[in-house]
Amino acid sequence: MSLPPLVEPAAELTQDEVRRYSRHLIIPDVGMTGQKRLKNAKVLVIGAGGLGSPALLYLAAAGVGTIGLVEFDEVDESNLQRQVIHGQSDIGRPKAESARESIAEVNPLVHVVVHHERLDNDNVMRIFEGYDLIVDGTDNFATRYLVNDAAYFLKIPYVWGSIYRFDGQASVFAPTLGDDLPCYRCLYPEPPPPGMVPSCAEGGVLGVLCASVGSVQVTEAIKLLTGIGEPLAGQLMIYDALEMEYRKLNVRKDPNCALCGEHPTVTGLIDYETFCGAVSEEASEAAAGSTISVTTLSHMLKERENGERDFVLVDVREPNEYEINRIPGSVLIPKGEFLNGNALGELPGVDSGKQIVLHCKTGVRSAEALAVVKGAGYADAVHVGGGVVAWVDQIDPSQPAY
């Protein structure tokens, strides 16, 4: 459905702006008025990562007058495979500063406002206020629900995107612009069970997928700001890069939505970390008192080598991760094998006297597997907090990190 433009036109374009945006100006649907609307617009981008990188660059190139950026992280070498707003010389620098400089190179005529802080309940309303539109480039469910709820309370529409491996999604959530338009909670009333959906850091993402979905987000932002075309409000775009297939599904407003429904139960910001949960309740209970450090594991491995201790160290990551780096002496049994019960047949018997020690990349998946193992009767089983990331960082920095 068509929506009215979010922004009034600026008074004028300078000669420099006319030259710069000439290819927009000769598009009848955009023209001088549309470009003036972009100049007058204030768009906030959450994150300068995979989706935020192309979004920021193309919003700047398009001539959005004020671009806000919420980002607290630093540039890591593993970011460069997809976060094209940063470069080799930016490693170790704040992403916000790196992004600001890249935007200035693309278009010095736009004004960049940096919010160098982690988005949370205490600052989200202050940061969002005054912006016309939000482009959400977050990569975790807790922040997505926070963005959705705060945007709804402030009556700010936002463009959402999601990426994982070869798949991308995008939509526009603007329930305050139309009685029948949904919010993010209408599409996803509840977050997925903890540990069910791996993050990009755990599951990976094709770098160029970020550009595909991020450019769709900016296209939707331009349409909303200028009032042209039909935005993805009430629709979900699904992109399969392997099949090179785009699909659109209708998303209806849920009359029972906890936020924008007829009888809302979410009337203020909530505890989003608890709502989404990093790990399941069972995993949290299993890990309580059964988590060891990589330093402890290092001592245990030396004792095992000397014949002073006997245990089985199990890596629950995926085979392709095991090829990147590994803790010496570990055996690979992916987490899925624990969840379907097959892994239990590969472990020594409960009465064997051998302790089971589990680890993954960071400790999330191993905690889920630990709950299964303890439920099967291995009462003394433990998992390694921080996983192989902590091992490489603290014990064996000669191995590559990812």
Collapsing DSSP states into helix, strand and coil, what is residue 112? strand
| Per-residue model confidence as pLDDT tens digits over 159-204 | 999 999 999 999 999 999 999 999 999 999 998 876 667 777 777 8
User: What are the boundaries of each domain within the chain?
Assistant: 15-276, 281-394
Residue, of 112 and 351, whose pLDDT is higher: 112
Q: Is the pLDDT of residue 275 over 70?
A: yes
Contacts 24+ apart (CB under 8 A), 8-13: 8/37, 8/40, 9/33, 9/36, 9/37, 9/39, 9/40, 10/36, 10/37, 10/39, 10/40, 10/65, 11/36, 12/36, 13/39
Q: Is 200 a catalytic residue?
A: yes
CA distance 239 to 256: 28
What's the CATH number for 281-394?
3.40.250.10
Instruction: Give the pLDDT score at 193.
Output: 76
> Which member of 183, 186, 260, 360 is catalytic?
360
**Which pLDDT value is given to residue 300?**
96
pLDDT at residue 196, rounded to an integer: 66
Nearest to 188 by CA among 121, 278, 283, 276: 276
Tell me which of 1.10.579.10, 1.10.3720.10, 3.30.450.20, 3.40.50.720 is the CATH number of domain 15-276: 3.40.50.720
The pLDDT, as a whole number, for residue 49 is 96
At residue 217 the predicted structure's pLDDT band, cuts being 50, 70 and 90, is: very high
DSSP element (H, E) containing 160: strand 158-164
Q: pLDDT for 92-101, tens place per residue?
A: 999 999 999 9
Catalytic residue among 186, 200, 260, 276: 200
